[in-house]
Amino acid sequence: MLEVVLRSLGVLAAFLVLPLVVGQTEHKVMAHMQGRLGPMYAGGFHGWAQLVADGVKFVQKEDITPRAADRWVFKLAPAVALVPYLVALAVIPLSATVVAADVGAGVLFVLAASAVGILGLLMAGWSSANKYALLGGMRAAAQLLSYELPLVLSVASVALAAGTVSLTGIADAWHPLWLVWQLPGALVFLIAAVAELQRPPFDMPVADSEIVMGPFTEYTGLRFAFFLLSEYAGIVVMSLLFAVLFLGGWRGPFSGVLGPVWTLLKGALISVLIIWLRVSWPRLREDQLQRLAWLVLVPLALAQLALTAGWVVLSSP
C-alpha cells in the first residue's frame, strides 16, 4: 500500500516538474531563436520562476462559467484533458527498473490513456455554448482522429520489430540499426505527435487569429491554465515515448547507473525539436492538414509497417 502511494506521488512530482521545465525551455529557446531575451525578471536568474509566477497569477483570477454553458461538463473538461497525460506518464519507463507501473501491454496503455484527453477538448468545445469553441472542438476532434491513426500505425511497426507490446521490452530489443530501419515510422510518429498535441504548425483547433482560442475561448484562470499545462504534459509524454520507442530509451554509456538520465536527455532533445517546429513553421490550413494525414502519413506508416513485417518474417528462422 505504501509502495503504491510512493509511486503515485513520484509520478505526480514528475508530472508537476517536467512540464514546467519544458515550458521554461520553450520561453528561452523561442526567445533566442527570435533574437530576444524572453522572461528575465522573475526569480532573478534568467527569469527561471516565470511559470511559477504565472501559476500564482492564474490561481488568483476569477473563475467564470458563462450563463449559457453546460455547467458541469464545462467545469470538468480541464480535468479530463489533464489527468490522462498523468496516467500515461506513469507507465513510461525511464530505465528497465525505474518505472512507476510496468504494465504488460504498455504501448497500448499509453496510446489508450493519452487518447482520453481528446474527450476533454470535445467537452470544452461543446459545453461552452460559443461558436468559436464549437468550431474549435470540431476541428480538434477531426484532427485528433486523423492523426491518431498514423501514430498508432508507426507504434505498431516498432512493436512488430521488437516482437513485444511492452515498453521496457521494446527498449530492450532496440538496436542502433533501428535508427535507419524505423526512420520513416519515427518521422510519422513525430509529425503525428505534434498534431496530437495541437502544437504549431498543427494548431488549427486553437488558431487564435481565426477562432480566438478554440475550445478554450470561454475559460479563465486556473481552468484555462490546466489546459495549457496539459499541452506541456503532452509534450513530455510524447517526447519520452519517442525516446523509448525509437531512440532506445536508456541505452547509452554506463546505462546501468545513468539509464534514466539517458532517457530524459533523449526526451529533452525531442522536446526542443517540437519547440523548434513551432518557431519555424507557419500554421497549416484545415484541409491541408487532413490531406497530409490521410494521403501522406497513413500510406507512409503502412509502407513502414510492410517493411518491418517483411524484414522480420524474412530474417526469422
Partner 1 sequence: MSPYLTVGGVVLAGVLLFVAAMGVRRVLAPRAPTAAKLTTYECGVDPVGEGWAQTNVRYFLYAFLYVVFAVDAVYLFPWATVIRSPDLGPASLAEMGIFIGVLLVGLAHAARRGLLRWV
Q: Which is nearer to partner 1, 30 or 303 (CB)?
A: 303
Residues 176-235 that bind partner 1 (CB under 8 A): 212, 217-218, 221-222, 226
Q: Are 68 and 224 in contact (CB under 8 A)?
A: no
Instruction: Compute the C-alpha angle 238/21/168, nearest 5°.
Output: 35
Does residue 2 interact with partner 1 by CB under 8 A?
A: no
Least Cβ distance, residue 217 to partner 1 (angstroms):
6
Q: Supply 188's cell numbers.
A: 510519422
Give the C-alpha separation, 262 to 96, whole Å: 12
- Asked if omega into 201 is within 30° of 0 (cis), the reply is yes
Residue from 112, 94, 83 nearest 233 by CA: 83
Least Cβ distance, residue 103 to partner 1 (angstroms):
5
Does residue 173 interact with partner 1 by CB under 8 A?
A: no
Q: Which is nearer to partner 1, 133 or 194 (CB)?
A: 133
Q: Which is nearer to partner 1, 56 or 265 (CB)?
A: 56
Does residue 247 interact with partner 1 by CB under 8 A?
A: no
- Helical packing angle, 221-246 and 71-91, nearest 10°: 30
Give the C-alpha separation, 134 to 107, whole Å: 32
Does residue 269 interact with partner 1 by CB under 8 A?
A: no
Residues 13-72 that bind partner 1 (CB under 8 A): 59-68
Q: Which is nearer to partner 1, 33 or 59 (CB)?
A: 59
Least Cβ distance, residue 205 to partner 1 (angstroms):
12
Terminal alpha carbon distance of the chain: 46
Residues 89-148 that bind partner 1 (CB under 8 A): 90-91, 100-103, 105, 107-109, 128-135, 138-139, 141-142, 145-146, 148
Q: Is 309 exposed, middle or buried (0-12, 13-18, 19+ CB in 10 A)?
A: middle
Least Cβ distance, residue 278 to partner 1 (angstroms):
24
Does residue 73 interact with partner 1 by CB under 8 A?
A: no
Q: Which is nearer to partner 1, 217 or 271 (CB)?
A: 217
Q: Are 220 and 230 in contact (CB under 8 A)?
A: no
